[in-house]
Amino acid sequence: MISIQMQDALNQQIVLEGYASFLYLSMASWCDHKGLPGCAQFMHRQSDEERVHMLKIFHYISEVDGFARSPEIKQPPHEFESIVELFEMVFAHEQKVTAAINHLVDLSIKENDHTTLNFLQWYVMEQREEEAQMRFILDRIKLIGDGPQCLYYIDKEVEEINKKAAKAPATAV
């Protein structure tokens, strides 16, 4: 049985993960519009991944006899100044998600909720990977530059990340 406080905190995480999914979907559309198919594909994949993260929490709450709530999602932005701003926003959002996961871990320790603590370990590792990937992309953009002609090379770099992700084994949900 999960505590009401933990249930509510996990439901807040569902909202955060759902927002990330919609934010990245909005970013994918912007990338498509700007002629950046590699970046668009990356954002579509990120959007799908965030939805999976949301659903894992949703199902977990039900498994531990809690009540998961479908999130109300705030409209994400759909205009961005540049590809740099877009990826900086992604990185900042991933840092926000990491902080929220860390809060959930702290709460599970405080409540002596070993089941939830164990469940959250996957998210701890996932967030480390997400932040590292976004830092890598931002570092590449800084090396390449973000002028109009540089966008082609940025898109190609992100396309390579997509290719590597396509070859990686699928993780179980």
What's residue 20's pLDDT?
97
Q: Which of 27-31, 93-97, 111-115, 158-162 has the lowest mean pLDDT?
A: 158-162
> What CATH number is given for 4-167 in this structure?
1.20.1260.10
Summarize pLDDT for 136-149 with one digit per residue, the tens: 999 998 888 877 78
Domain ranges of the chain: 4-167
Summarize pLDDT for 47-81 with one digit per residue, the tens: 999 999 999 999 999 999 999 999 898 999 999 99
CB distance 23 to 76 below 8 Å:
yes
Summarize pLDDT for 101-118 with one digit per residue, the tens: 999 999 999 999 999 999
State the pTM of this model: 0.89
Summarize pLDDT for 7-54 with one digit per residue, the tens: 999 999 999 999 999 999 999 999 999 999 999 999 999 999 999 999
